[in-house]
Structure formats: C-alpha cells, structure tokens
Structure 1
Amino acid sequence: MAFPSTHPSLARALAEREYIEATPVQSAVLADNAADRDLLVSAQTGSGKTVAYGLAIGGTLLGEAERLDFATLPVALIVAPTRELALQVHRELEWLYKPAGGRIVACVGGMDPKVERRKLQSGAHIVVGTPGRLRDHIERGGLDVSQLRAVVLDEADEMLDMGFREDLEFILETTPRERRTLLFSATMPRSIETMAKRYQRDAMRIEVKGDSGGHADIEYRAVRIVPNEIEHAVVNLLRFFEAPSAIIFCNTRNAVRHLQTTLLERGFSVVALSGELSQNDRNHALQALRDGRARVCVATDVAARGIDLPNLSLVIHAELPSDPEVLQHRSGRTGRAGKKGTSVLLVPLSRRRKAEGLMASARVVPVWSGPPTAEEILELDQQRLMQDPMLQEAPAEEDIAMAQTLLVSRSAEEIAAALVRVWRSQLPAAEEVFDPGDRRDSRDPRQERAPQEARPQREPFANGAWFHMRIGRRENADPKWLLPMLCRRGNVTRQEIGAIRIFERETKFEVAASAADRFAHAVRKADGDIEIVPLRDGGAAAPTERPAKQGPRPKREEHARTDRPARPPRKDFKPGERKEFQPKPAKKKRRPPPAR
C-alpha cells in the first residue's frame, strides 16, 4: 500500500530511498486516529519499525515547519537495548531526517563518552542510545532532557529481559510529563503492559499480526546432521545457497572463534561478532559485510537484534537457540522489507525433540532434509558457470585474439577444461556429509529386537578389540553413517572396522588388533556428542552375550570370620531372656546462682 500522508521533508527522504509501499506497522502508526497519541505497538522483527516511529514522531518534532530549528537541546530520545540496534537506528534516522536538517547523535556503550558529550554540547535534535549510557549522561549533566517532546522505547521487552528496568524508569521519570511516549515491542508480556499504564497517557494499542506460520518471507529448513559434522554441514550449506551475505549463529564465543577459523581456512571471507569484541571491531565487521568485503558473519546472539544487512538472505543456526523468541529474532535478520530469506537449523540426532519443540512454539513448519551433498553442489556449480556473466558478456577484441592464439596450440576441450579448473579454484570444496535419516519410522515396537548388522555383513576379526557407544536403533543408528564417522574420529580405514552390531540403546563394533590402540587414542582426543569407549571384555563374545545370571547369595553365616574372638556375654542378660525397657532417670535441674 502507498504511504499515508507524511511531512513533506520526510516524504522527500522516502522518495530518494525509493520507498513506495508502506509496511503494515508503518501504515498503522501513520493513521489519522494515531496522530499525536501515545502508542503501544507490537510487531514482528523486520517489519520496518524504525522507519515507522521515525515517521510517527515527525509531526511532533516538525509541526508546520519545513525544517527543524537550530540544534540546541534534543527534542526526541530513542532508547534501544543493544549497541548494534542503536547504531542501526542512528543510520536510519540520519537519512530520514536529512532533508529536514536533523542532527542525530548516538550514545552507546563501548564508545568514548567524552566524544559523545562534545557532540551533545554542540547540539542535537534526536539522541539514540542504550539505557545505561543514556542514564550516565543524564546523571553527569551531559544530556539535558528538559525539552523532549517524544520518547521511543524500541524492543522494550528485550530491555526488560536484559535487566534495564531501573535505567528505563530513571529515564522516563526524568523526562517531561507532557512528552509523547511510543513503546515498540515484539511481544507484549505483562511487564510491558504495566510500564505502559504507568508512563503512557491513554495509549493507543496497535498489534500487527504476523502469519500464523511464522514470518511469511522466511523459508525455514531443518537439516538432519550426524554429530561431529556441524562444520561440514555449514560449508555445504554456504556452497549450496551461495548467498550474497549469510550469518551463522553459535551459542558461545569459543564456538564463534572456532567456526570462523575453520571457514577462513576453507577460503570463505568471514568476520565474527561476539561480546568480547570492542565496539569499533563490531562496526568494522558490519561495514565489511555491507560493502561486500566479507560474505559470512559468525556471531553469538549479540547479533540477533539490530543487524539489518540489505543482502542478507541466509541464516544458519549452527547451534539451536535457547527459546522460540531467540529463534525468531535470529531468523528475522533475513526476510526483511519484503525480501525473501532462508533460515536453516542444524539438528543433530540428540537434539531432534528440542528442535521440534522450538519450531512448534515459534509456529513455523520447516522442511526437513539431510545436508546438501557434494554431488548436488557440483551440479549447481555447473549451472552457475553457464550463467556466469563471464560467459554472457560479448568478448572484447583482445580476448578473441588471445583465444585464437590458444586454439593454435590447444584444443577447444583443453581450453574449456582449463577454464573450469580456474573457475572451481575460486570456490571452497564441498564436504562429504551423511544424512542420518528420519528418526521417526513405522517400525513395529513389538517386533523382535535382534541386533542389526551392517550390510553387507562384515566378518569378525580373529583378535579384534570391541568398543561400544550409547547410540542405537532409538537414535536411528545406521552403518551407512556410523562407519564413515568411526573411520574419521578413530583415524582408521574401513577395512580396519569389523562387525557392527546395533542394539536398541547401544552399538557395539570391532576394530582390528593392529589398529585398536590407535583408534582408542584418537577417540579419546576427539570431541563429539557420541562417546566411544572400549569394552572391558575384549573377546568376540562380549558384544552379543550377556553375563550369566549369578546364583543366590550365600548366607551370612558362610561368610562369618573365624579369626575374630567371641564376644563375652553380658552379665545382666541371660540367653533367651527378654529384657524390659527401663527409662533413664531424669537429670536434676541446676538451681540458678543467687543474685548478687
């Protein structure tokens, strides 16, 4: 839908950015019945909320004037939960209020507060910042909020979850009571409603409902992976989609560093984002993604909010998020402003139930599949080569002359093969990955639970060593992926793995005697979800036979010790006589000493 009537200066900024259609939340806040009122807005991430409240406060700040007055004290305050989101809001409002002569100042943690104080003293129309830094400037006298006409709390639910309630209450208590207050939140818990009743006046409630199946512009995929193959699956997903920009989420800083190093070694242009980086490092990483110097970002949940990259079309959850809200905010980095995106969750066997619960709570229905194979990526590479602009553009005269020179000494097939080799050398190689298959099957639970062996059957070794791991038919264990995994983790070949027997809750397998020590040492050092330990009994019967049931325990008299002297009988007790219980005499109470 077209944009409703806005201030002429802001309308020019929208036209320069080619904003033609308004999102639902933008139309709602610009409606006639919402003008000059306090607003309580709930809308999903990526719905254009920043531009929405930037336009909503335009009439409050500008009135009938074409441009803002000379910047002295700020007239609007925007509060955001994270540094990245505050800086993103700063960038959006800069272009939106540029025709109106707006001066925007950002105040966030991690930056030099003295520089921010000098900018505030030079004058600002709108101040954007995080709660802690804004409160610090107010308490130290660097930020004067006495002339504020509008206050916006962006992602208010997240600020309360992060423990900023006291800072927010301080800021709202300090600002003028006649201000206009706009509160934006992805969810609307009771704590947000309580804050709205306390600090807003006759607020208009606006709820922009999303699709019941999740974000309509995001395609969700759940990829089954074998434990210990997360990195290989990430490599193949990046190669399969070839997204202009992609972000990979991990749960810890160590996982971010490890995955970034792995992808750099494979030839990807990667940057990292985590809480241990300084704000300047974070800004440089985001700028590298925006200008195309980097195509992949590995990040913790610090990047789940506030990152808006125009070409970000792929989100990979290398580790499952902690709750459905984090899943939605992570995935919301893509599929923004009407563009399509893909969100992929990597689901190991042991995390299948948790992943299903997360997606059910988030009301998304994913497409389940295995990871992209090397063959599928090779087929896509052939199609992409044929569509490459290098082959679509008309050749220059010097290129034709060089081609004719090459044809004198080489055949056309040799030249074409060399071109393919050069083109492939610029791409990271795909990995061999395995699909563990769908865990849910139609197997009758009452059927015979005989051990399942690899097909074709592998003959036991003469003096092999037996190992076992606690994964069986319940986890959909299958020799098709167990055998390659054992070879990779144990540093052995397929010929050095003997019989594999899969039971309901465990799997037992044999390793050749010549490779047993090497295998045991390698699996002790390997990191993975599946623990592999040697069996105590190294015989061939160990994996299939149960220990025989022991007979009844011998009576206690048979274990009586004969070297201990007999205890002498008590003098006051005769054998066979029942002694009556006699209570002990009560102790005499001591008299208190006389008072002196």
Structure 2
Amino acid sequence: MSFNHLSPVLAEALGARGYDALTPVQSQVTEDAAQGRDLLVSAQTGSGKTVAFGLAMAGELLEGGRLTFAAAPLALIIAPTRELALQVSRELGWLYAKAGARIATCVGGMDASRERRNLNQGVHIVVGTPGRLRDHLERGALDLESLRVAVLDEADEMLDMGFREDLEEILDATPQSRRTLLFSATIPKPIAQLAKRYQRDALRISTVGEDRGHGDIAYQVVTVAPADIEGAVINLLRLHEPDTAMLFCATRDNVRRLHARLVNRGFAAVALSGEHSQNERNHALQALRDRRARVCVATDVAARGIDLPSLSLVIHVEIPRDAETLQHRSGRTGRAGKKGTAVLIVPYPRRRRVDAMLRGTRIEAEWGNAPSAADVRQKDQERLIEKLLAPVEHEPDDLELAQRLLAERSPEDIAASLVRAHRATMPPPEDLIDNGPPPRRERREGFEQGGDHPPRGERSPRREGFDDSVWFRLNIGRRQNADPRWILPLLCRRGHVTKHEIGAIRIGPSETLFNIPLAIADRFAEAVERSANADGEDESGVAITPAPGGAAYPPRRDKAPRKGGKPLAGGGKPGGFKAKPFGKGKGRAPR
C-alpha cells in the first residue's frame, strides 16, 4: 500500500516494519480533516493507537523530514503504567528513528537522576507516567514551555487510577497553543470533562463498533454454583489450552489464593497485584513473554498497560464492577486484528446483573454451563488424535526406537502408554458440584437435602434431632438455579457447621429456607455475619437472614397449638434463640 499522504521518512519506517495498510484509527487521525486539530479518540485496546498518535503529531515535529535540535521537549506522551510507557517509547523509537528523534522515558522504578541527565541533554519526545513526570516538573528538570503536542494515552485508565491531579498540574504547565491528543478506550463523563477543559474544538474520532465493545473478541458467560468458581477456572484453562491466559480477580488476596491453587494443580502461572514489587512484576511479565508461564492472575490495576501479543483468553474470575472495567479487562486480548475469547464466570445469583451489564454495552455473549471434566477429557482426546495424526518427518533414531517398542509390546499397548504419558503432563480437570439444574423428574425424587419441593400434597420426613430448630432464609430460589448440591457447601462454609447440622432445605421460586438446631443457631448466625460484607451478602451475592419468628411454611397439623392458639412450624418451640436481623441483609421475610 502507498503511504503518499504521510511524511516520506515515516512511510519508509512503516514499510520496513511490514505495514501493508493502516488500521482504522491510524487512517482517521492522518486525514486532512484531523491535521493540526485537537483529537478526542476512542478505539479498542490493541488497535494501533501508539502508531496512530505517532503519525498524528508528525506535522508539529518534522521539518523537512527531520527533527532539528531541541533544547526542550516538543512532544509529551503520558501513559498510566511503566510497562505501557516503555512500550510507547519503543514504538516511537522505530517510527522516528530515521528522523533523528531523541526520546526520553520518565517512569517510576527507574533511576530518576539518569532521567534528569537525559532531559538536560535535550530531547524531542518525552514519554512517562504521571507521577514521575510531575516529580521532574516540580524539580525543574522537565521544561514544557516549548511543547507543541501533548498526548494522553489510555486516559480513562489514568483517571481510574487516581492521576487526575497529576495530569492537571502537568497540562497546566504546557503552552496554551499546544495540540492535545486524548486517546481512550471509552469516553465516560470524567474523560469528557477533561477534554472540555484542555482541548479546543476537538475532532471526535471513534473506531469502536456500535454493536459490540470489541469486534475481535468472542464473549462467553458460564454460570456456576458459587463453590464451583475455582473449579470452573481450571476446566476453562484446560478446555481452551491458550498460549497465554489472563485471569482477573477483584482483590490481591483472591489473586494470591487462586495463583496458589493453580500452581499446586500444575499450571505454569504468575501473579500480579499491588503487593508485588516492580522487580517481581518484571520477572512475571518476562516469564509470560518467554512462554515459561502461560497463566497470569491479576487485579484490574496491576494489569493496566500490559501488552502480551500471545494473550488469547481472558477469564473474569470475579465479575467486573462496571462496563468500563469489563471492556478494559477483555481488551487485553483480541488485539490488532487477532481473535480472542473473554469468559465471565457468573455465580447463579449474579446472572441478572451481568445480563444487564452486557445489554448496556451492546455485547452479545454466548451463555452456557462451565465445561465439565468429561468435556475437558473429550477435548484432550481430540487434540491428541489431531497431534499424532499430523504428518511429520521422523528422524532415524525415532524410527529405530519405535521398532524396538513394537518388538516388545503390541501397538495397542504402546498407544495406550503414549496416551497415559501425555495425560500425565496435564493438570487433571475438576469435577464440578453443579453443571446446571437437574432434570425435573430428578428434582422431584428427593427433597431432604437432595431435591426441590416434594410432589404436591407431600411433606418430607423430619430429620431426627431437629425438633428444636430455627429457620433461616436465603435470598435465592429456583429462579437463581438454587440447588442443595451447592447450597449445602455454601451454608457449611458461611456458618462454620457440618452438613449433618443442617436440617431440611426448602427451595421456593425466589427464596430458600433451611433449619438449624436451636443449640447452635446463635453460633451459626454469628459466623454468617462475620462472613458477609456491608450489604449482608457474600462475594456471590447470597444473603442469609433469620426467618422471622422461626416460621418457614404454614404449620403442620400434627403439632399441638401453643398459648394463643398459633402452632409452631418445623418443630420450633418458644423461648431460646430469638430470630433477629444481623448484618445488613436485604431479604424479605417468607410469606
């Protein structure tokens, strides 16, 4: 392709780099209508934005195809993270190499005195992170009076990370005549306000599709029981077998726990969170680039600015807090025209929230169950057969070894041993507690700790030892796929009890009731309160509250009435545990 509309020195650099055509964002920022104007650009992560703003600012930097000596920087690029700033510096380095550009990087974790020496020697382009740039500015090492172009890369991420004050101080120190280019994956209200303050008559450019946030990303949603989340992660990794995968958690504690689980299961995994030093972060990223590690478990902030060309799978282990976070996480894959997959693991009680989020962002996702252990084994067989039947040229030593094996064993024995050896190199899949609701007939066969409501007109037998019991309520029911197979482990974990200390489980359309022996009801309630957040729920949105008065359903007729003529339900007796609200549960009392 001809790049006649570009400076010859840049066109030559693109050709040497193997460019046949510009990406959509690169084409739009180099059109005549964009020349000399401020730009407000939204484009998906990995769409070639770095080269785009490198081409867009050429008119302010090049004179006769060269950059003349500059005592002070002519262009400033601000990026949210050290990794992204270094990546931008490398990209601009080859793009402006033949133009004689001097580029300096100013990022945290590097030698600040060396950076100041580089700035004092005269540079054309400065690339840095907000905190380090502000530090150099306040110390007088960074002179922005001659600046012609200011670029904010991943502006929405910088605001999310709390850099607004740093950005404002830096931009306030630049000339009013400068050109401001603002690049962001999304344009939320804070970005629009920043653009209004620091840009003049900006040209709005958007290459993000209207129908989906990322056109090169296939979105999948798998619904699981809350106790199956980590098992679903393992099965997804085994099913897809990606070159590189990134797993997103909400907190550093969850990153630490999931990373330890994966390593113990045999995955080559690294972790990135706020508790890791810059040196540890560098080692982790290098392991991913060298393919010594294939899985990265990270928090949202720790993954900002990471560019891994081999990343093909993103798993949202914990649901993103909003649509912008969803797109930023997913944007780590499907970059620069490559295809990627983003999978959201959704506990049953959170399905409505995720469905609303996807509709709001116009993302079409395929909903289904998490892959089972049988699904993973079937996929392993297909991959192994495909690998073994692929045509290859055998070495003489390999053929000689094969003949020796055939002389000792039958072909079936050798093939079976080969399959076993291959399987031993891979982490085994997980048997999940629940892979969707059981068939209706199966649900009606049992009720006591194993099914749904019993057939019409029947009641389950009362368990021995539960005559003195207290009823509690869960804010989930059949509509949220509630099933004793995963409710029982959840109650044991939240209430610090064993499965033998939980009585009947009665599942309704939108709520579930269960009873606990009166002797341990207070201890159970206290444990549930400690394991809940400020809203009275756990991480999957399940709230446990006492059923008012201990009553669950209309009382049985075989119970004698108490004083006042109102019989007790479920074997409850007056006195003892008093059902009182705890935490900040939102649940309504059963009707």
TM-score range, shorter chain: 0.7 to 0.9
Q: 1:46 to 1:502 in 2, by over 3 A?
A: same
Offset of 1:46 from its aligned partner? 3.0
Give the corresponding residue for 1:350.
Answer: 349
Letter of the 1:350 counterpart: P
> In structure 2, how many angstroms separate the alpha carbons of the residues matched to 1:74 and 1:351?
50
Task: Return the offset for 1:509.
Answer: 7.9
Counterparts of residues 5-404 of structure 1 (less than 5 Å): 5-65=5-65, 67-69=66-68, 73-189=72-188, 191-388=190-387, 392-404=391-403
SS at match of 1:452: coil
Structure 2 match to 1:452? 453
Give the match for residue 507 of structure 2: 502
Q: CA shift at 1:209, angstroms?
A: 4.3
Aligned to 2:588: none
Structure 1 unaligned blocks of 5 or more: 442-449, 554-596
> In structure 2, the residue corresponding to 1:85 is in which secondary structure?
helix
Amino acid at match of 1:463: E
Quick one: distance in 2 between partners of 1:390 and 1:95? 43
Does the alignment pair 1:472 with 2:499? no
Give percent identity, aligned residues only: 57
Structure-2 separation of matches of 1:407 and 1:493: 54
Per mean C-alpha deviation after superposition, the further-off stretch among 397-406 and 89-98 is 89-98
**Count of residues paired in the alignment:** 537
Instruction: Indicate conservation of the 8 Å contact 2:242/2:313, yes or no.
Output: yes
Residues 400 and 183 of structure 1: CA distance in aligned 2, closer, same or farther (over 3 Å): same
Verify the 8 A CA contact 1:453 1:502 in the aligned structure 2: no
- In 2 relative to 1, CA 37–459 (structure 1 residues): closer, same or farther, beyond 3 Å? closer
Give the SS at the match of 2:301.
helix
Checking the alignment, whether the CA contact within 8 Å between 1:472 and 1:507 is kept in structure 2 is no
Question: Once the 2 structures are TM-superposed, how far is the Cα of residue 399 of structure 1 from its aligned partner?
Answer: 0.9
User: Which of 554, 564, 585 matches 1:551?
Assistant: 564
Structure 2 Cα separation of the partners of residues 299 and 543 of structure 1 = 51
* Structure 1 residue identity aligned to 2:221: A
Deviation, 1:92, is 2.4
Hey, what's the Cα distance between the residues in 1 that align with 2:306 and 2:452?
A: 51
Is contact 1:4–1:27 with CA below 8 Å preserved after alignment?
A: no
Residue identity matched to 1:40: L
The 1:72/1:281 distance shift into structure 2, 3 A limit, reads farther
Secondary structure at 1:206's aligned position in 2? strand
Q: Which has more radius of gyration?
A: 1
Residues 379 and 313 (structure 1 numbering): CA distance in 2 closer, same or farther, change over 3 Å? same
Contact 1:371–1:434 (8 Å) recurs in 2: no
Per-residue CA distance 1:129-163 (angstroms, 9 max, x = gap): 12221111011122222332221112334434444
Partner of 1:447: none
Q: How has the CA–CA distance of structure 1 residues 357 and 462 changed in structure 2, closer, same or farther, with 3 Å as cutoff?
A: closer
Whether the 8 Å contact between 1:371 and 1:435 is mirrored in structure 2 is no
Distance 1:283 1:13 in 2: 29
Say if 1:3 and 1:27, in contact at 8 Å, map to a contact too: no
- 1:92 alignment partner, SS class: helix
Change beyond 3 A, Cα 1:498–1:128? same
Matched position secondary structure for 1:21? coil
Q: Deviations over 1:195-225 (max 9, x none)?
A: 4454334433323342323321111111101
Whichever residue aligns with residue 182 of structure 2, its letter is L
Question: Contact 2:39–2:204 at 8 Å: present in 1 too?
Answer: yes
1:85 to 1:548, Cα distance in 2 relative to 1, 3 A: farther
Q: Distance in 2 between matches of 1:88 and 1:544?
A: 71
Q: How far does the alpha carbon of each residue in 1:380-416 deviate from its partner, in whole angstroms, 9 at most, with x for none?
A: 1111112227953222111111111112221111111
One-letter amino acid matched to 2:464: N
State the Cα deviation string for residues 216-257 of structure 1 (Å, max 9, x = none).
111111110101211101000111111111111111010111
Letter in 2 for 1:57: M
Q: Distance between the aligned counterparts of 2:74 and 2:157, measured in 1?
A: 25
> Counterparts of 1:543 and 1:271 in 2: how far apart (Å)?
56
TM-score, length basis structure 1: 0.78
Question: 2:502–2:514: 8 Å Cα contact kept in structure 1?
Answer: no
1:550 Cα offset (Å): 4.8
Q: 1:22 to 1:494 in 2, by over 3 A?
A: same
Alpha-carbon distance in 2 for matches of 1:510, 1:424: 44
Change (3 A) 1:462 1:74: closer
Amino acid at match of 1:10: L
Computed over aligned residues only, the root mean square deviation of the Cα atoms, in angstroms, reads 4.2
Give the distance between the partners of 1:90 and 1:396, measured in 2 at CA: 45
Once the two structures are superposed, residues 323-381 of structure 1 have per-residue CA deviations (whole angstroms, 9 ceiling, x without a partner) of 11111111111111111111111110221222122212222121110100111111111
**8 A Cα contact 2:274 2:302, kept in partner:** no
What amino acid is aligned across from residue 35 of structure 2 in structure 1? A
